[in-house]
Structure 1
Amino acid sequence: MIHRRLMLHLTGLGLLALTGAGAARAQVDVKAILDDPEAPVGGDPKGDVTIVAFLDYNCPFCKKATPELDAMARRDGHVRLVYKDWPILSQTSVHGAKLALAAGYQGRYGAAHAALMAMSGRRRAEDDMTQAVAAAGVDMTRLQADLDAHDAEITALLKRNGEQAEALGLQGTPVFLVGPYKIAQPLDRDGFAKVVAQVRAGARR
């Protein structure tokens, strides 16, 4: 089910106030969610619709939805994707998130992300995740160097993602924020396309 929440209203301070059940206990900075400079961005960076995706690499529903979301963004051509690695299911989720984010320093976040999401099963071992990223063509020597050099930045980003999810009242993964819509279950590419079309229609009114 797609929950249409005019779940926020924008104020002159650039803040977002959630309303309704599960509302945040405090205001959330919209820019921090949409434009964190450390958060990976896919699709069209200048797209007219932004989708923020809170995901865990051990979440089977994330694995189902992510390729559909990415395919929709490629087909549309004007959707901006913001990936929020939110590793909440196990310690191996943290390992996977760190691998993907470290791969980003060599411009390979997308490849690592897709490889991890393509892994079958739940709670895969850390070695399995590492091997999947290596098989995707990521330079693992450089990745390890980036993990070591940028551990503080990666850890801080994961903390910010978690704080944003908590402030937004999110209960688990996946969650996709698309304009005034919150989607808390996997959709296929046509389902995502319908939500994007609704956001664009609303913007024209």
Structure 2
Amino acid sequence: MRRLPVVLAACLLGTSALAGGLGEMTEAERAAFREEVKAYLLENPEVLVEAMNVLQGREDQAAANRDLEMLAANKDAIFNDAASYVGGNPEGDITVVEFVDYRCGYCRKAHDEVAELVKSDGNIRFVLKEFPILGEDSVISSQFAISVLQLHGAEPYKQVHDALITLRGSPDEATLTRLAGDLGLDPAPLFERMKSPEVQAVIEANHALATTMEISGTPTFVVDQTMVRGYVPLDGMRQIVAGQRG
């Protein structure tokens, strides 16, 4: 970008002083240079668009390379964390990891579409990372869900996850008691477990991983070797999965 004015000036004016650089110009030459460049850009504004597109492309590539480095350095914590729920096809050729907050509007919007993606594809391994970042209700919801996973396993956890992601009210004790009862679970051990070091360790580990991966919002997805920050419609997610398969 810094060479653009000199190149333009040399081409437009053809003077040795301009070709030699701004430092060798007189004040009059610099003024003429500015006017020539201004006139050229006003007549050819697409040059600026092209330059910005090149810059954006370089920044996007640098970010993608950075993501690949972070994924390689943290692959076990991302894909093979024994404390996280694994659904879909456990032997799938693509792993989709979601960092989720139950109070996040875009997580709720993505929920049914991600479920459809996993179901319709049939060959996706799906991992959920509890990542409460939107206040106390988020933390309580994740504590309850993790407690169900630790005490009762994957299937009850998925049912609780689906219920919490669509819950419109607050996850207070009465609501969670009713939810546990609907699933045939005793709420007392779950409430006790929610405050345990084992549950807190999962949340802290996910937050630490998110910090390392430069994840600050939800939903964030890792689709094999691609990071997707934010909500993407179903068709877009399918394209990303297809791209990872090559």
Q: Same fold (TM over 0.5)?
A: yes
Structure 2 unaligned regions, length at least 5 = 1-59
AA matched with 1:59 = C
Please, which of 145, 162, 171 is the counterpart of residue 189 of structure 2? 145
* 3-state secondary structure, aligned to 1:18: helix
Matches within 5 A, 1:62-101: 62-101=107-146
Matches within 5 A, 1:1-205: 5-9=64-68, 17-18=69-70, 28-104=73-149, 105-107=151-153, 108-120=156-168, 124-127=170-173, 130=176, 133-134=179-180, 137-141=182-186, 143-149=187-193, 151-201=196-246
Change (3 A) 1:132 1:28: farther
What root-mean-square deviation, in Å, do the aligned CA atoms of Structure 1 and Structure 2 show?
2.4
AA matched with 1:179 = D
For these two proteins, the number of residue pairs brought into alignment is: 181
Q: Which runs of 4 or more aligned residues in structure 1 lie more than 4 Å from their structure 2 counterparts after TM superposition? A: none
Shift of 1:79: 0.4
Percent identity (aligned): 28
Structure 1 unaligned regions, length at least 5 = 10-16, 20-26
Asked whether the equivalents of residues 96 and 129 of structure 1 are also in contact (C-alpha less than 8 Å), the reply is no
Change (3 A) 1:193 1:118: same
Structure with higher RCO (Cα < 8 A, 6+ apart)? 1
2: CA distance between counterparts of 1:72 and 1:29? 25
* 3-state secondary structure, aligned to 1:199: helix
2: CA distance between counterparts of 1:132 and 1:180? 40
Change (3 A) 1:140 1:178: same
Asked whether the equivalents of residues 221 and 227 of structure 2 are also in contact (C-alpha less than 8 Å), the reply is yes
Shift of 1:28: 4.2
Asked whether the equivalents of residues 116 and 129 of structure 1 are also in contact (C-alpha less than 8 Å), the reply is no
AA matched with 1:83 = L
2: CA distance between counterparts of 1:63 and 1:96? 14
Change (3 A) 1:199 1:96: same
AA matched with 1:18 = M
AA matched with 1:167 = T
| Structure with greater proportional helix content | 2
